[in-house]
Amino acid sequence: MLIKQLFLLFAFGIAFVASVTPPPYGQLSVSGTKLVGANGQPVQLIGYSLGWHQWWPQYWNAQTIKALKCSMNGNVVRAAMGVDSGGYMTDQNTAYRLTVAVIEAAIAEGIYVIVDWHSHEPHADEAAAFFTKIAKAYGKYPHVLYEDFNEPKGFSWNDVLVPYHKKVISAIRAVDPINVIILGTNTWSQDVDVAAQNPIKGYKNLMYTLHFYAASHFVEDLGNKLRTAVSKGLPIFVTEFGVCEASGDGRIDTNSMQKWWSLLDQYKISYVNWAIADKSETCSALNPGTPASSVGDSNCWKPSIKMVVEYNKKKATGISCGGGGSANSGQSNANNKQKANTKGKSNGAKKSG
């Protein structure tokens, strides 16, 4: 019987994850401008983004995911699967394999995972096919969120991005009707105010991406775009931010970052820090040569990530390193298992993420 069940799972592209730990807030959904947990309570996801898979594959594994959870108090990891520049469009098998490794590690650890189509160019057909495959394999797990377009460059929201998003959303929803989908916005995912003028209609559990770098973007300018979007009812998710300049390098702006954290916490907006990588730049978290086994060792951390972790450790993220989601997860283990089984400036300048 077990062999027959495994054969059927394989035949339909459904993944069998050996170890499943419920995520902190159970099944997520969107209510108004808020991300909410299984009991309808507003929640924040707080965590870390991996760097492009084709350049830092050494961190796309279970060791890293455990460190992000247990040493950095993260309840979400972003799998920034590179699409161009030698990524998915060049080698789909490696990209998928590494993404799956991160998804399954997050499910085992009991944290959420954002599957990020990390591109600046629209590849609608390829994105739809990729997310269909991911949704078939892992859409039954409440841990999974989809980010369908990392940072669109200078594309029109109405003419290019709305049709793109509708195509990808439709592909995902044909398989997974529930899990949250996060949509990239114009100008490197900054123009959330533009998206708020014509949001995608006809689908539930959609959010919109805002990216910022604290030494280049400020609550007095880009922050006003966020305020405008929220005032119009747009749910925002900061899937990428840095404490440094928009290049991913340069100075750390502590004062600006503190203002951003206050603004995000005011609206209970989730946020993910860029990036778990060992590149020689300010917002790359790790010292050059750091192995995956030392991601949780603060002696291997740069000042940027130390600042972020210090703040994140003050936050209630619902996790427990004794074995996954906390007792206040908002959904029983049984219900979770039942589901599991059934950058740049506003003018367009760009940075490393």
Query: Which amino acids are annotated catalytic?
Result: 151, 240
In whole angstroms, what is the distance from residue 278 CA to residue 285 CA?
6
Per the structure block, which two tokens stand in for 184? Answer: 């990239």
SS3 146: strand
Distance of CA 93 to CAs 58, 89, 130, 200, 209, Å? 16, 10, 11, 31, 27
The helix-helix angle for 62-70 and 92-109 (nearest 10°) equals 40
Query: 242 near 261, Cβ under 8 Å?
Result: no
The number of helices, as runs of H, and strands, as runs of E, in the chain is: 11, 12
Distance of CA 203 to CAs 59, 144, 231, 271, 294, Å? 34, 17, 20, 23, 42
Query: What type of residue is 41?
Result: Q
- If you count them, how many residues does the chain have? 353
**Cα of 71 vs its chain's centroid, Å:** 19
Q: Which residues pair with 267 in a beta bridge?
A: none
Query: 168 near 128, Cβ under 8 Å?
Result: yes
- Burial zone of 88 (CB within 10 Å; 0-12 exposed, 13-18 middle, 19+ buried): buried
Per the structure block, which two tokens stand in for 66? Answer: 């455990």
**Cα of 121 vs its chain's centroid, Å:** 18
